[in-house]
Amino acid sequence: MSTYKAPLTDIRFALYDVLGAEALFAKLGYGEATRDVLDAVLDEAARFTETVLAPLNSVGDEIGCCFDKATGDVTTPPGFQQAYSQFIEGGWTGLTAAPEHGGQGLPHVMGVPLNEMINAANLAWGNFPLLSHGAVEALRQHGEDWQREAFLKPIVEGRWTGTMCLTEPHCGTDLGLLKTRAEPNADGSYAISGTKIFITAGEHDLTENIVHLVLAKLPDAPPGAKGISLFVVPKFKVARNGRMGERNALRCGSIEHKMGIKGSVTCVMNFDSAEGYLVGQPHKGLLAMFTMMNTARLGVGLQGVGLSERAYQNALRYSLDRLQTRSLSGPKFPDKPADPIIVHPDVRRMLLTVKSLVEGSRLLALHAGTLIDVAHHAQDPAEREQADVLVSFLTPISKACQTEWAIENTYHALQCFGGHGYIHEHGMEQLARDARITTLYEGTTGIQALDLMGRKTASTKAAGLKLFLAQMEAFAKEHEGDASLAEFIVPLRQKAAEWTALTQGILQRASADPEEIGAASTDYLFYSGYVALAYWWTRSVAAAEASAHSDAFKQSKRETARFYFARILPRTLTHAAAIESGAAPLMAMEAERFGA
């Protein structure tokens, strides 16, 4: 059976020793975010996820959600309602929300370890509150005063949840094709009509209301994506004074039968002149929706981290216990009938791959969280702007790499179990199935790659990359006289220079052939992710050596970093070669010859 123990030691190391969270919080004015408070939050989050959510993980997978065709109602798996009630009682829904909206006002980055723990313990359950934070941010930044007053407090309190309604049966990524319409009503509201698909938590029995943020087009909308507006459309109507009224004209049409995350409901939502209100400016809906989408993308990246962590814990436990043959260099446990499989190089390869990717990913995710805090609360406007540019650059890297690595990590962990990993009772195959969706929703890996290469690099003249490389170089310069870090800093600087050259080469070729952007994008994304983790592993070694952690902990960090640089970072060579090959090998074949 799959189990989970929150990795508090490594989370605290990442937050306090590597990222210097205590000093950062003091600088940003978070007076109540003391070490005692933060540690208490982490301890209680661990208790809740380990004892309440984790035992329900297999329940959600085995029973799933039930859909009533007659009423359109959805029933969540046994125990999910009770767990959500405890989640609200614990104040978790408003942990990082602003006090004026009923939140506790803790730094945004403190939601990162909470969400990692939730995702590791029970990814499907975690999808129900997942989009609420993004809904809060979209309404906070783009909504009218009455909308913030009416909707934010119930969402922050957890009494209501939020959804994001973009995709339609005929249009996925190309939102300019959407057909959902919004007709103005005499009272200033709008009648929303259309069908949305793949709506996470679009209908459920956990809360008294569900707030849908819906993309639709006004009658006078210009064609394409420039004509999209955003509307808030609650399940039960909400008056301007915040009072909840009668059932709105919207209904769940069906729920999907999925490969994984079966305890999470994925809905077809039908809107039939449902009452809604415009959020932000007419025809500017994508701007408001991207506020929510970027939050969701970082959240999905954390799903990959959580799944990878749980997979690693179980694979490590099994590898230490499972006896199978002898070490190639002679028995390591002569008192036993065979050695545990952790003595074998290939098992160690899989375990170290997962360990190096998950611990590096944790820092990548936490760093993004600190950047959001800086972007919102730094006193210097230039510092806020730089943090916003950098987190924008890192978002597609985090989302895509952490989820793609989750697929690799959960399969490695399953492989450590051998045939037992393929059997349901051990819980490893559920982790592998659950991981598969994370590379698809909130923008596929290909979409993230195009976002990174096109919008975040080409369109900005590599502004985010330059900031990240400057951060890497500042660290390298600070430690260039440290002989104990030379084995990492020298290759790190080489990769930084290569990253710059690769970027310049792509942009130069793209000026003559726009297809070069798409041809290079996926390899560029992974190249970026692997170099970013090399930086965080170098910082981890330096921070560990300067910390009060045990010698075993320090040595573990150094040895894992060495493995990463020797066995994982060379993957960049393949990605660089693919990038340099250009668009021709991809675009030369005519479409009809693919079937020849």
Q: Which residues are part of the catalytic machinery?
A: 442
**Could you identify the residue written with the tokens 């798996």?**
77
β partners of residue 132: none
Tokens of 245: 């009224």
Residue type, 307: L
| Cα angle, residue 572 at apex, residues 569 and 573 outer, rounded to 5° | 115
- Quick one: residue 98, left, alpha or beta (phi over 0 = left, psi -120 to 50 = alpha)? beta
**CB neighbour list of residue 546: distance below 8 Å, 6 or more residues apart:** 17
Q: Are 402 and 440 in contact (CB under 8 A)?
A: no
- For residue 260, the SS3 value is coil
DSSP 283-317: T-HHHHHHHHHHHHHHHHHHHHHHHHHHHHHHHHH
- For residue 76, the SS3 value is coil
**CB neighbour list of residue 242: distance below 8 Å, 6 or more residues apart:** 149, 150, 151, 153, 154
First-to-final CA distance of the chain: 47
**Could you identify the residue written with the tokens 């990222």?**
19
User: Could you write out the three-class secondary structure of 167-185?
Assistant: CECCECCCHHHCCCEEEEC
**CB neighbour list of residue 115: distance below 8 Å, 6 or more residues apart:** 126, 299, 302, 306
* Integer Cα distance of 330 and 348 in angstroms: 17
Which DSSP state fits 150?
I
Q: Are 127 and 112 in contact (CB under 8 A)?
A: no
* Of 410, 547, 522, residue with least CA distance to 120: 410
Q: Are 246 and 236 in contact (CB under 8 A)?
A: yes
* Integer Cα distance of 283 and 94 in angstroms: 31
β partners of residue 254: 268
* Integer Cα distance of 176 and 85 in angstroms: 39
